[in-house]
Chain A
Amino acid sequence: MKRINWTAYAQSLAAPLLAIGVGLLVGAIAIWAVGGSVGTTYAEMWKGAFGSFYFTASTLTRATPIILTALGVSLAFRAGFFNLGAEGQMVFGALAAALAALYVPGPGPVKMLAAVAAGMLAGGLWSLLAGWLDTRFRMNLLITTLLLNYIAVYTAGYLVAFPLKEKGGTGGAQTAMLDNSAWLPKLFADTTLHAGFIVAIAAAVLLALFLTFTTKGYEIRMLGSNPLFAAYGGVKRGQLMLVSMLLSGALAGLAGTFEVLGTQYRYIDNMLTSPGYAWSGIMATLLAGSNPIGSVLAAILLAALQTGGMGVERNTEVPLEISSVIQSSLILFVSARITFSFIKWRKARAANGNAA
């Protein structure tokens, strides 16, 4: 019974790999269309992402917030809740973390822990609010999470532009710099990669174990798979929804926290929204079919496309947007797969009636 079903694994890998292949193909056509050399461009993209130790480390740095949001989103998706609010949860998490690290007294590690706790709590509560609106008022989660993003992003933007703006600073809308005792340690000297990456990997493993081996994880999976079956078996939807939304938001909050503690050392307006970390995280989740370990790989792939795209822009005439073309076609083909399996499922349901 312990035998691993390799064919099943191969099958679950086949679709994302195919999507990646098609994405690269579409990208190749786009490169060709703007008059670039496909070979050189992809070579530069690879070099930009993994060409040296420094670039590899940058790619993983960029992947860190994407992994954490992807994990949070995966958890909510597995429970059947479309949490599209990762961006807002991340922003409030980052802002809360920055404030905690700035204003909590004590030595560096205390500030750091306070920042992590505050970041996760802020992200979690913002997400919980959407969950509560659903259980209490039946407000559609997809819509509330999406719209709460705007409230969070603009509120944070206002706060750092006015009341919380760095005193006497010449910079734009940003908080003061954190004391460097509260900074996350770098994993390697002279690279950008910080300890948050290790935490993100550990979180992925923990989440995978949680979903497979715990009763709560089981209930979450069943709730997402067939809510009526879960209700029939005595799973409490409302309670589980609040728990999974809280955890989901806390992971997004942690992603924002690590950007503050590990890369920028302060909260800067747009530091999370302009790289689009949250949306990349959602893409990674979709690409990996909400599998935690798969989400890590997908997040690194997306980060590599983005850092690789910068390399392309540095060294060729092809613009950075080529990465977006590849990413978008990836998502297009992944969603085509979802639609296709939905059609298959519908057909199978219709056929069940007369098959004996």
Chain B
Amino acid sequence: MRLAVAFAILCAVLVANAALAQDAPKGSAERGKKLFVDLNCYSCHGTHAQGGGRNSEPPIPLGYPFAGFLNQMRKPRLDMPAYEEKLVSAQEAADLFAYFSSIKAAPAAKDIPQLRN
């Protein structure tokens, strides 16, 4: 459960749309993707930032702003590692957020034949 909440918070950010990114500093999605891999974020959140979690917890509804995302990185709730300024700068955090914002939404479950059964 602890991880589920932590994951869900980040997951909400991962799938945040462009509108949510408007309150974030300008970032580079390309740099963010590279940083996402370098920091091993993919070990919990997937190589496509699609989510996964220790037990692959499902996401909660969207709606987390950049400020909240940055706070979660600096002083994470629950199980997520902390990334302070000297490890991930404000610009890098913006890059990460830009990457998350660029990710296309997952297909709807109803449109996936294998999930209909």
Genuine A/B complex: no
